[in-house]
Amino acid sequence: MSNNKILPALCYFSIFFSPLLLPAIVYFITDDHEVKGHAKRSLISHLAPVVLLIAGFILFSFSIISYESRIHTMMTGQFDFWGLAPFLFMLLYGLLFLFVVIWNVFQGVKVLK
């Protein structure tokens, strides 16, 4: 196998051992256009869960800030979105991360063939 198949596959498989570091290094080091394109795609796919995690942190912060008003809402029996939001986020994040892992493994195997 040549380097133009191994390096892109490693970039995709790096979701398991160094998600952001290896694709970034390969992207800036290599001169091959095809390898650089795969490194960029894998880096973007590895960044998606990180961006969602930052958004979830902001959502969780709003959930904690609105805690006092949520207590009043729970006492009156009204629906409380901010109390449910962290659980919805965890579900969404888990599904996205599972999709990203499966996609990266699929792309890594596809590059090796």
pLDDT of residue 1: 57
Position 55 scores a pLDDT of: 85
Q: What is the pLDDT of residue 2?
A: 67
- Distance, in Å, from the CA atom of 25 to the CA atom of 53, rounded to the nearest integer, reads 23
Q: C-alpha angle 68/60/70, rounded to 5°?
A: 20
In angstroms, rounded to a whole number, what is the distance separating the alpha carbons of residues 74 and 83? 9
Tens digit of each residue's pLDDT (9 = 90 or more) over 4-55: 889 999 999 999 998 889 999 999 999 889 999 999 999 999 998 889 889 8
More confident residue, 19 or 74: 19
pLDDT of residue 98: 95
